Amino acid sequence: MRTSKKIASKQNISIIIPVHEMNDTVKPLYERSLESAIATDCNILVVSATNKINDELLTIKNAFNKNITYAIKNDEKTDFCSMVNFGVEHLDSSSDYFMILEMDDVINPQVFKQNIYSYMNAKKDYSVFIPLTYLFNSKGDKFEGFINELPLTPSFSKEIGCIDKDSLSDVFVFNLTGAVFSKEVWNRLGGLKSSIKVYFWYELMLRYTSHNVNFFVYPKVAYHHYLQRENSLFDTYVKTVSEKENKFWLDVAKNNYTNNDDAFVYNNKD
Amino acid sequence: MTDKEQKIVENIDKEIERIDNSQSNVYFFVLDTKGVPDGSVEYIYKLAKILSDNGKNVTMLYQENLIDKKDDKGVIVKDENGNNLKEDPFVGVEKWLGKEYSELPHVNTISTNINVKSSDILFIPELFASVMKETRKFPCERIVIAQNYNFIAESMPLGDQWGDYGIIKAIVPTQTNADLIKDLFPYVSTTVIDPYLDDLSSKTEELPECLVNVVSKNEEDMHRVIKPFYWKYPMFKWITFRELRNLPQNEFIDSLKKAAFTLWIDDDDNFALTPLQAMNAGAIVIGKVPDILPEWLVEKKENGSLNVKKCGYWFSNLKEAPIALANVIKDWITDNIPSEIGKAQYDAWNSYNDKGRTTKEIYDYVNKIFDDHKKTLLEIKNQIVNKNENK
């Protein structure tokens, strides 16, 4: 099923930044991230894990002197997926599209602004727009390679840039932070499943493409992703995941995308 | 007046009448590219088409030995007397230039005799030194179309030059070509007939893909660039190269429009049509600076030295190509292509987006040849008449 889409404009894309920790290491990274988001002229929604962090975030907000909206998540579910879902639930009603910005990643605002609206208007059959992404080491001083580049090869799928169900059978790793999602599609097909580790984006992609909602990778580097900081929550987790467990989560993703009940956790709550 | 003189005067009158009634023929010798697009042949066909559209009797000439006709199974077909049936292997330009060009009259000079008159004009590409020699006794005006400097030396037998074959006129696509020919054969009068490009930019609707089209005269050159590019820049292994050689013109143009980049390597193309077409289609050109620089590619600095214009990413030898490619791709995916390149690209192709200019140049040129010939004929006639009146 495909619904009619509003034409994208600068006003209706919001940027969600989930923040689950704040300390001296994270703070400058978050400030860099926030600064890049502000430069896109989009609305910004910061999802704060606890009230304590929120106080720190308000200080930063005041320093930037910009209109940033906050959503405070006080329950125990502070994993990435839950924070993202919570953020989407709390978006302004005027936001037809949104992007997830990891708190230590960076948007390239010029590239984003110059391209996203062109691609959204030119590729009206798509509801999710993924940027070609630079991957840097955690210090940010070494370029490690590209992410999301494979769909830009003609042999990947039916159209250059397209990620459809067939093309997901062999490629599992995409970075969807930095991607612009249609809120209507997210609300219809569900958000991220926090029950699935490691491959939660992959599960979402399988679920969406099985409903003929395809993803489009646009060939512009609008997003810089930084490898996880040493001792960060994700880093600690990834280090403990064995190859066997990794495969387990991949199988879980592959076997659970047809069921989307647990992708509506916040909708159900409301 | 003697009978011979009388005959000459009659023939002169006939030729003048042919010129006045636009019955003189304009012949263009062409190479059969066997369906493969070729910028030099395109230039000739475009000039021929302009003249045809403007009322001239244009005929395209070619030389192809007839071959045995074969059926679908490859068996030679025979007539009722048991003789092998023959067929003309000429392919022509329909596949890549289209019917409007292939439907110009064509004649195979090996299987068909043509009766060339003195008021006709015969255009011969620089590659056809043998035709220049064979036709040196022809009564008509013979003009060389010289687009490629290298071909002149390659095709002429050692010790011969154009003057030996009576060639004293040439048309060229660039002033650079004209200067080079003047340097070789000072007695040859050269005229620049500017090529023209059809404007494709308004037809560009889709956003370009991150692909590299390759237009390289030699396949080896292409490999000398692409393989080292992947070896040196493995992070770009997802970049796809597409070779455009042998594509029909419409597919060629479509491909130029769909890809963000065009890699061009052709030292023999003195006019460099492909990069201009690519620029017109909105692609960024990564090109090897050709040995002979067309004037659209160079600018004169205050100190008199020549600079390659910044209308693309240019490299001077193939070793530099991978880094040029990596730089332009990096700049494009991050929207850092210098704005001056876009402006220079526009200026470059737009300077040849003028079919009216080309039409005027070739039409005026041909008419002047006819007028000059008519004057010469009249002078000869008057000399004969005056001589007899004085008697």
Is the residue at B112 inside a domain? Answer: yes
- Are B232 and B260 found together in one domain? yes
Is the residue at B97 inside a domain? Answer: yes
- Are B306 and B369 found together in one domain? no
Query: Domain tally for chain B?
Result: 2
Which one is predicted more confidently, A56 or A83? A83
- Are B173 and B258 found together in one domain? no
CB < 8 Å from A in window 260-289 of B:
260
Confidence of residue A83 (pLDDT cuts 50, 70, 90): very high
- Are B179 and B266 found together in one domain? no
Size of interface A-B (CB pairs under 8 A): 38
- Are B43 and B163 found together in one domain? yes
What local confidence, expressed as pLDDT, does residue A162 receive?
Answer: 96
CA dihedral (B9, B371, B30, B178) positive or negative: positive
Cβ distance B262 to B286 under 8 Å?
yes
CA distance B283 to B188: 38
A7 contact B CB<8A: no
What local confidence, expressed as pLDDT, does residue A1 receive?
Answer: 35
- Are B177 and B288 found together in one domain? no
A36 CB neighbours in chain B (<8 A) are none
Alpha-carbon distance A153 to nearest alpha carbon in chain B (angstroms): 6
Domain assignments of chain A as residue spans, ordered by start: 11-269
- Are B129 and B223 found together in one domain? no
Say which of B206, B211, B335 has its CB closest to residue A114: B335
The arithmetic mean of pLDDT across residues A152-159, rounded, is 93
- Are B369 and B229 found together in one domain? no
Confidence of residue A237 (pLDDT cuts 50, 70, 90): low
**Closest chain B residue by Cα to residue A115:** B335
A113 contact B CB<8A: no
**Which tens digits make up the pLDDT trace of A91-147?**
988 889 999 999 999 999 999 999 999 999 999 999 999 999 999 988 888 899 999
What local confidence, expressed as pLDDT, does residue B163 receive?
Answer: 96
CA distance B111 to A203: 71
Per-residue pLDDT at A234 exceeds 70: no
A115 CB neighbours in chain B (<8 A) are 335
Which tokens in the block code for residue B175? 């002033």
- Describe the crossing of helices B219-232 and B321-333 by its angle, rounded to 10 degrees: 60
What local confidence, expressed as pLDDT, does residue A262 receive?
Answer: 66
Q: Which fold has domain A11-269?
A: Spore Coat Polysaccharide Biosynthesis Protein SpsA; Chain A (3.90.550)
What local confidence, expressed as pLDDT, does residue B334 receive?
Answer: 96
Which one is predicted more confidently, A130 or A11? A130
Lowest mean pLDDT, pick from A56-65, A182-191, B318-327: A56-65
CA dihedral (B330, B334, B339, B344) positive or negative: positive
CA distance A49 to A75: 8
CB-based contact A220 B335, cutoff 8 Å: yes
Residue B308 sits in a domain whose CATH number is: 3.40.50.2000
Question: Residue B313's domain spans which residues?
Answer: 201-350
Per-residue pLDDT at A268 exceeds 60: no
A153 CB neighbours in chain B (<8 A) are 238, 240
Is the residue at B7 inside a domain? Answer: no
CB-based contact B238 A146, cutoff 8 Å: yes
Is the residue at B14 inside a domain? Answer: no
Residue ranges of alpha helices (H) inside B21-140 are 39-53, 94-97, 99-102, 129-134
- Are B188 and B43 found together in one domain? yes
Q: 10 Å Cβ neighbour count for B271? A: 26
**Which tens digits make up the pLDDT trace of B136-176?**
999 999 999 999 999 999 999 999 999 999 999 999 999 99
Which residue, among B215, B32, B45, has the nearest Cα to B145 in the 3D structure? B45
A122 CB neighbours in chain B (<8 A) are 206-207
CA distance A240 to A137: 20
What local confidence, expressed as pLDDT, does residue A235 receive?
Answer: 64
Cβ distance B377 to B12 under 8 Å?
yes
- Are B110 and B187 found together in one domain? yes
B238 CB neighbours in chain A (<8 A) are 146, 149-150, 152-153
Is the residue at B8 inside a domain? Answer: no
Mutation for B interface: A117, A129, A146, A158, most B CBs within 10 A: A146
A111 CB neighbours in chain B (<8 A) are 334-335
The arithmetic mean of pLDDT across residues A180-205, rounded, is 92
CA dihedral (A208, A212, A213, A218) positive or negative: positive
- Are B273 and B176 found together in one domain? no
Confidence of residue A270 (pLDDT cuts 50, 70, 90): very low
Per-residue pLDDT at A7 exceeds 70: no
Per-residue pLDDT at A10 exceeds 70: no
- Are B180 and B214 found together in one domain? no
CB-based contact A111 B335, cutoff 8 Å: yes
**Residues of chain B below pLDDT 50:** none
